[in-house]
Amino acid sequence: MASTLGKTNSVGRSIPRVEARAKVTGKAEYVHNLRLPGMLYGKVHRSTVAHGRIRGIDVSAAQAMPGVYAVYTAADIMKLVPDPHYGPAFHDQPVLAIDKVRNVGEPVALVLAAELPPDRALIYSHFMHTPGSVARYAALMRGIPFALSAHAKDIWTIPAWEKREKLADAAWAVTCTGANADHLRGLAADPGRVDLVYHGLDLSRFPPPPARKAGHDGRDAAQPVRLLSVGRLVAKKGYDDLLHALAGLPEGLHWRLIHIGGGDKTDLLRLAADLGIADKIDWRGAQAQTEVLAAYREADLFVLASRIAADGDRDGLPNVLMEAQSQGLACAATAVSAIPELIRDGETGLLVPPEDPPALAAALARLIADPGLRTRLGGAGQARVRADFGTAPGLDQLVRRLAPLCPPSP
């Protein structure tokens, strides 16, 4: 066996993803379905280092147990197969479990279930994907209900069957947009257990701004209209689309873009240079909230070019749009996900289709050239955010859901 393994770095045929039917002939039995007398199981220990790398394992105690023939770790296997391909490979986790762990949340769930205080009546997870799995498994082991909230990536990047299972088992679920709620209710056996709870904005952190000065109209090169965008430099934010839109603005309009947010901007810097607009963009990186608030108040308009990423990830209702509108800033954005739940096109902002730089350029050109339109849209957006998107209603709704499942305080 050792000599055979030593001649290859794979098992079976070389295919992109190994599937059992392509590799096994005859009858196969998965080890995670077997329960054999004397089978040795592992014990999960909490790591003191987040994402810590295991450098070695002392197997001497396990090796000394009666009836144990051998104990192998991934390090032993890699001596024979330096680069093994058994489907997904976890090179930084040198433990080959006898029992299959099908979700990365399972070891965490074991720790949570063991350490959860006995008087806890509910486990509430703030995300639906892996945290939701942890809550579900731990609740099952402790015999108590669990509930979850769902937002954006945690909804749209996991399969439908997983969402159905979690919604079926959860006592209830909340989500932060109407678009999300419609999607999840369509998957739930009991749609009534899915509530729409907008995050809202803590308006105490975003008090009304000082009165804005008369805006510029982009005709004076010495007084360019200041565009602001706040967001991570990731695919779903559509910053390459925004750069193409800016490059399509009429030459007679003078503008400057300020971007705030973290992420790798290497490709965007190259694109801006290729489009001839690099000197009109100020990339400020991640900023403290006080700096972001000051930027909202200094800008003339706000723009966000959100889209659906290749993996399905998308924005829910971006907080930055509510923040910008709370400061009376006119917004141009794309009609993706729940953004139309906040921005009413032509009434509280301008909306364009996603991944349509010419349409976004046209909307920006309107706003840049018309200070009066910016003032009207900014004022209407500010009034709606302050009337309909505060945090209090959502918090009250969560309290109503939590209260029946939690015993009264002594």
3-state secondary structure string across the chain:
CHHHHHCCCCCCCCCCCCCHHHHCCCCCCCHHHCCCCCCCCCCCCCCCCCCCCCCCCCCHHHHCCCCCCCCCCHHHHHHHCCCCCCCCCCCCCCCCCCCCCCCCHHHHHHHHHHHCCCCCCCEEECCCCHHHHHHHHHHHHHCCCEEEEECCHHHHCCCHHHHHHHHHHCCCEEECCHHHHHHHHHHCCCHHHEEECCCCECHHHCCCCCCCCCCCCCCCCCCCEEEEEECCCCHHHCHHHHHHHHHCCCCCCCEEEEEECCCCCHHHHHHHHHHCCHHHEEECCCCCHHHHHHHHHHCCEEEECCCCCCCCCCCCCCHHHHHHHHCCCEEEEECCCCHHHHCCECCCEEEECCCCHHHHHHHHHHHHHCHHHHHHHHHHHHHHHHHHCECHHHHHHHHHHHHHHCCCCC
Phi, psi (deg, nearest 5) at residue 123: -110, 125
Give me the pLDDT at residue 142, please: 87
Provide the pLDDT for residue 75: 65
Question: Taking CA 372 as the corner, what is the angle to CA 369 and CA 377, rounded to the nearest 5 degrees?
Answer: 105
Per-residue pLDDT at 108: 67
Q: How far apart are CA 74 and CA 84, in angstroms?
A: 10
CA distances for 270 relative to 178, 264, 265, 266, angstroms: 37, 12, 9, 6
Rg (CA), the chain: 27
149 — phi, psi (to 5°)?
-115, 150
| Residues paired with residue 281 on neighbouring β-strands, in sequence order | 257
Burial of 248 (0-12, 13-18, 19+ CB in 10 A): middle
Which pLDDT score, from 0 to 100, does residue 39 have?
45
Which candidate, 246, 271, 258, 229, places its Cα nearest to that of 365? 246
Give residue limits of the domains in the chain.
Answer: 1-100, 105-199+393-405, 216-387
Residue 409 neighbours by CB distance under 10 Å: 4
Look at residue 81 in the predicted model and tell me its pLDDT: 53
* Domain 105-199+393-405 is found in CATH 3.40.50.2000: yes
Q: Do domains 105-199+393-405 and 216-387 have the same CATH topology?
A: yes
Q: Going by DSSP bridges, is the β-strand pair 146-150/255-260 parallel, antiparallel, or unpaired?
A: unpaired
Is 381 in contact with 328 (CB distance < 8 Å)?
yes
Q: Please name the residue that has the structure tokens 């999840």.
A: 184
For the domain made up of 216-387, the CATH class stated in words is alpha beta
Of 102, 375, 365, 40, the closest CA to residue 213 belongs to 375
Closest to 206 (Cα-Cα) out of 373, 349, 385, 374: 385
pLDDT tens by residue, the chain, 410 residues:
333 333 333 333 333 433 444 444 444 444 444 444 444 444 444 455 545 555 666 778 767 776 666 666 656 656 655 554 433 333 333 333 333 344 455 566 766 777 888 888 899 999 998 889 888 888 888 889 999 999 988 998 889 999 999 999 999 999 998 999 999 999 999 999 999 989 889 999 999 999 888 789 999 999 999 999 999 999 999 999 999 999 999 999 999 999 999 999 999 999 999 999 999 999 999 999 999 999 999 999 999 999 999 988 888 899 999 999 999 999 999 999 899 999 999 999 999 999 999 999 999 999 999 999 999 999 999 999 999 999 888 888 888 888 887 666 66
Close Cβ partners of 140 (under 8 Å, ≥ 6 residues apart): 169
pTM score: 0.68
- Considering only CA atoms, which of 285, 301, 288 is closest in space to residue 370? 301
Least Cα distance to 385 among 230, 150, 198 occurs for 198
CB–CB of 349/304 below 8 Å?
A: no
For 381: left if phi > 0, alpha if psi spans -120 to 50, otherwise beta; the answer is alpha
- Does residue 198 contact residue 225 with C-beta atoms inside 8 Å? no
Q: Do 94 and 57 meet the contact criterion of CB atoms below 8 Å apart?
A: yes
